Structure 1
Amino acid sequence: MTLAKQQCEACHADAPKVSDQELADLIKEIPDWVPQVRDGVMMLEREYKFKNYKLAWAFSNKVSELAEAEFHHPSILLEWGKVTVTWWTHAIGGLHRNDFICAAKTDSML
């Protein structure tokens, strides 16, 4: 089953982070996302471009609705013609499978 069709699972502080091998395998399904490390925390980030602010705003609202539906919340930076979305799992301070699921679902909203 593709990542975009999966559901996030409840995550807790002792949930496992994705391994290096899982990262390598999962990132193949979301090739436009870039693993980033900020303050020692691994995250997934992607920048989306739009023709204007209104389209970017509408997309950021869709991402917000996804976040509420999955009860998994990213960082969303809204700019003129651009939205940057960053997924990571706050509870574990890194990447969980949920982040890859939500990244794939974010892509499917285009």
Structure 2
Amino acid sequence: MSEHTSERERLTDGDVQERKPQGWWGDDGKLFRLFEFDSYRQGLDFVVRVAELAEAQNHHPDITLKYKKVHVEYVTHETNSIVGGVTELDLRGAEAVNSIFELPGEALSGEG
């Protein structure tokens, strides 16, 4: 990716495959990961932390909580339309979500 490429410009499938963060799947259409927790509460706490991150970044993934599993999916939207794929913003968001997930259990559960 050249330094002139916009952070909201769609990346190619090859770029996404080469640069996607550990644990994430995707192509030029979307980037997603399933996170698993020991309890519903841990998953819910994680969802809240991801939502806070999204607000801080002003870039919001789709988040689905199903009991002890959380599915996070990034695709760049522009004023109620989809750019049509994964962008630099999505890669940065996914990396930040991984950082949240790697925090000690106490920080994620709100204890300690």
TM-score over 0.5 (shorter chain): yes
Q: Which amino acid aligns with 2:73?
A: T
Query: 1:24 offset after TM fit, Å?
Result: 3.1
SS in 2 for 1:64: helix
SS in 2 for 1:101: helix
The alignment-based identity, stated in percent, is: 30
Corresponding residue number in structure 2 for 1:105: 96
Q: Give matches, 1:1-110, under 5 Å.
A: 15-27=8-20, 30-35=21-26, 42-91=29-78, 92-110=83-101
CA contact 2:9–2:88 (8 Å) conserved in 1: no
Higher relative contact order (CA 8 A, sep 6+): 1
After superposition, the C-alpha distances for 1:49-73 in whole angstroms (9 at most, x for unaligned) are 0011100000000000010000001
Question: Highest CA radius of gyration, 1 or 2?
Answer: 2
**Structure 1 spans left out of the alignment, 5+ residues:** 1-9
Q: Which amino acid aligns with 1:82?
A: K
Query: 1:90 offset after TM fit, Å?
Result: 1.4
> What TM-score comes out, normalization by structure 2 length?
0.74
> What TM-score comes out, normalization by structure 1 length?
0.76
Between the two proteins, the alignment pairs up a number of residues equal to 92
Query: 1:101 offset after TM fit, Å?
Result: 0.4
SS in 1 for 2:86: coil
